Amino acid sequence: MFPTLFSPVTIRQLTLKNRAIMPAMGTKFPKDNQVTQQLIDFHIARVKGGSGLNMVEVTGVHAGSIPSHYLSLAEDRFLPGMRELTEAIHAHGGKAGVQLWQGSIAVAADPTSQVIVASDLPVSPEYTIPGASKELIVELIDCYKQAARRAVEANFDCVEIHLGHNYILHSFLSGGINRRTDEYGGSLENRARFPLAVIEAVRSAIPDTMPLFMRIDAHDDYLENGLTIEEVIQFVKWAKDCGVDVADVSRGNIMTSGLKYEVPPIDIPFAFNIDNAARIKEETGIITMGVGRVNYPDLAEEILAEGKVDLIGIGRAQLSDPDFLNKAQAGRLEDIVYCVGCNQGCYDACERADIPHITCLRNPAVGKERAYQLVPTNDAKKIVVAGGGMAGMEVSMTLQERGFDVTLCEASDRLGGQFLLAGMAPRKQEMREAAELKGKQIQRAGVNVRLDTPVTEALLKELRPEIVINAVGAQPLMPKIPGIEKEHVYNYVDILQNKPQLAGKTIVIGGGLVGLEVAETVAETGGDVTVIEMTDAVGKDLGSTRKITVMEQLYIDKVTTMTETTCIRITDEGVQVLKDGEERVLSCDHVVVAIGSQSRDFKAIEQYCEANGLPYYVIGDALQPRRALEATAEGAELARSIS
């Protein structure tokens, strides 16, 4: 299947077996800038899964400005680890590229890393980061050159220069960032001077036979005087003349709401940037790689077959399922575990200092590829799993694949739990489809699925399991607020699942993700919506990319938000709140409570298991309401620990 996607392509003297590239993605797997076994295992899994080229993640070139969880080619001491990585990729039939990078303001969160900027950048009334001196520019050019030399010595098959996303080269190229008045600022020719010098230096350091890729934004978003696509096209022409072979056309920046395009979440349309890449290809004649929410093999095939681009970046889809490409080529589309663009385990993890490395909501084995290899059981115990949400389905499928005899009992008439419900919110159909497909996958794996079957003592006596797993999930939390029992009061399930037409004014109590999605759902049916939140901000449980898209839509829908506002009473006329130490009444016709969830009561079954000596485990929201990321992770962990 998909003949264009799986056709070979030759760039200079490098032949790739297919057109699917795993683009460079930050993982936080490196330690002290060194390659780790964790990183090697991660790449081996994607090579085995069919990736045409693994572009190893952003790799620093300037020793003083590389956070410790990034790779480095700034010094020779990093060569042994890099060689080990390329040898592993090559040993399994893959090709390896490396992306050379200096992060500019992107490293500011790391106190040990020097922040280098194109021109003076005020960060407070008292302090301005000075723009790079001419001496530093010359130093950086040599840093890129020496890093490219080391990439060759480390046996990489190609090199990519990162020239997007507000990193240092993009910061010079963009008129929205570069305010220099010397020969490196002003006109496009001047702003391009440093990036082109880097390209020439890198090209001179690598063999003529080796391809040179360049990642570049199609244009700047929401940035005054930012790069236009016309300027980018001109720059790509110059870069091509300097020896760049492939334009890897991205989008997004970290200085504006354009961040949502850098790692586009579920809210962003599929293939949203491909037309930009196609225009760049048409007007420059360069080999072009398109990226951005190309999550399905048929979509990739269509784009390639139409000649819009020559290569496709498939990144998060290969996080979600390392065998994505092999399954696609074999026509096993219903076996693919598709990325849903949640960004919870990948980009959000990169942003948060308290999370050690990336993972994936759909694939808890990310970062644990070696430890999570399935070990068949020698004792096919009978196991009953109560609850068919993401935790229940994950633990059931993994246990069944290991050889256990698994029965999954779901009290409702469908699988998916809270994840299925989440997929009923605006722009999140992919989550609903993923939940439904997961249900089909676990049944094909051999799990005995019983719908409309709550787990009771009588059922356990009938099934006689040797292990019971509680994954019954959570239900809406309804606080003891006077008036909460009134007929015009709803919970979030009522709204997302049933989508009643709520005319007039609606107050949503709770400004987390669920509350905001409820607000949007009501607003899109014509309702006048106000969200009240007791803390100092709404959307605190959202990662940055999804928060941008959700808040933009709420603005479009004219939803009002009130923070530091506590509901103390619900009346027939409205909601009585405490705001700034004073009580006031917000008039409304409807109230929706969306302050969170509470674990379902399963105490009777727990006591039954204890009385009968049955091993009993609790996972997912049944243990503590959280995100689907934690639910699937706990299901995967438990399934591998049972012997």
Pairing of strands 9-11, 14-16: antiparallel
Per-residue pLDDT tens digits for 540-599 = 999 999 999 999 999 999 999 999 999 999 999 999 999 999 999 999 999 999 999 999
Average the pLDDT over 178-188 and give the result.
98
**Which residues share a beta bridge with 449?**
408
Judged against a pLDDT cut of 90, whether residue 527 lies above it is answered with: no
Do 613 and 372 contact (CB within 8 A), yes or no?
no
The candidate with the shortest Cα–Cα distance to 147, out of 79, 245, 208, 55, is 79
156: its two tokens: 């990489």
Per-residue pLDDT tens digits for 316-334 = 999 999 999 999 999 999 9
Do 374 and 296 contact (CB within 8 A), yes or no?
no
The candidate with the shortest Cα–Cα distance to 584, out of 568, 595, 572, is 568
Is the Cα dihedral 535, 539, 541, 543 positive or negative? negative
Per-residue pLDDT tens digits for 87-112 = 999 999 999 999 999 999 999 999 99
How far apart, in whole angstroms, are the C-alpha atoms of residue 201 and residue 344?
38
How far apart, in whole angstroms, are the C-alpha atoms of residue 470 and residue 623?
8
Average the pLDDT over 276-284 and give the result.
99
The candidate with the shortest Cα–Cα distance to 75, out of 89, 90, 60, is 60
**Which residues share a beta bridge with 475?**
598
Judged against a pLDDT cut of 90, whether residue 630 lies above it is answered with: yes
The candidate with the shortest Cα–Cα distance to 617, out of 357, 347, 284, 387, is 387
> Which residues belong to CATH 3.40.50.720 in the chain?
382-476+599-641
How far apart, in whole angstroms, are the C-alpha atoms of residue 12 and residue 244?
11
How far apart, in whole angstroms, are the C-alpha atoms of residue 472 and residue 80?
49
> Which residues belong to CATH 3.20.20.70 in the chain?
9-351
Judged against a pLDDT cut of 90, whether residue 280 lies above it is answered with: yes
> Which residues belong to CATH 3.50.50.60 in the chain?
489-595
Q: Which CATH number fits domain 382-476+599-641: 3.40.50.720, 3.40.50.300, 3.40.640.10, 3.10.105.10?
A: 3.40.50.720
The average confidence (pLDDT) of the chain is: 98
The candidate with the shortest Cα–Cα distance to 476, out of 520, 444, 510, is 510
Q: Which fold has domain 489-595?
A: FAD/NAD(P)-binding domain (3.50.50)
Known catalytic membership, residue 261: no
Question: Domain 9-351, what architecture?
Answer: Alpha-Beta Barrel (3.20)
- Which is catalytic among the residues 70, 127, 144, 167? 167
Average the pLDDT over 288-312 and give the result.
98
DSSP helix/strand/coil, 205:
helix
Per-residue pLDDT tens digits for 396-433 = 999 999 999 999 999 999 999 999 999 999 999 999 99
- Sheet strands (E) in 20-120: 20-22, 53-60, 71-72, 96-101
Per-residue pLDDT tens digits for 21-36 = 999 999 999 999 999 9
For residue 489, give the amino acid letter. Answer: V
354: its two tokens: 């308290």
Query: C-alpha 34: how far from its chain's center?
Result: 24
Do 147 and 201 contact (CB within 8 A), yes or no?
no
pLDDT at 485: 97
What end-to-end distance do the CA atoms of the chain give, in Å?
39
Judged against a pLDDT cut of 90, whether residue 452 lies above it is answered with: yes
